[in-house]
Structure 1
Amino acid sequence: MQTLDAVKRICPKRALLVGMTHEMDHHKDNETLEEWSRREGIDVQLARDGLRVYIDL
């Protein structure tokens, strides 16, 4: 998947994927991303409506 290849090149501490279609199985796809995250060492998950992200500057 091109998106995950891009995430690997950037190597963020955490990545939230946005702009997904409503036809995705959010729970199932996040489980798949969790496995990928453990393997690659990068926290990646699908964002969701109402998600709040707190950033320390």
Structure 2
Amino acid sequence: MAVVLALEGLLYAAFPGAMRRALATLALQPSERLRLVGLGVAVVAVVAATLLVRA
């Protein structure tokens, strides 16, 4: 979790305009799309964590 927060912080520091545009774009997306993307990212994260633990 700390790594994710560090990377996010670096993105905001390095590319504030791009992050602002990305957030504005996210705000315009339908809730269903955000749910599906969030679920997909969560599944990928769980699979990646499982693979890392087994390695």
Category of TM-score, reference length = shorter chain? 0.3 to 0.5
Give the number of the structure with larger relative contact order, counting CA–CA contacts within 8 Å between residues 6 or more apart: 1
- The structure whose residues are more often helix, as a share, is 2
Larger CA Rg, structure 1 vs 2: 2
- Give TM-score scaled by structure 1 length: 0.31
- Give TM-score scaled by structure 2 length: 0.32
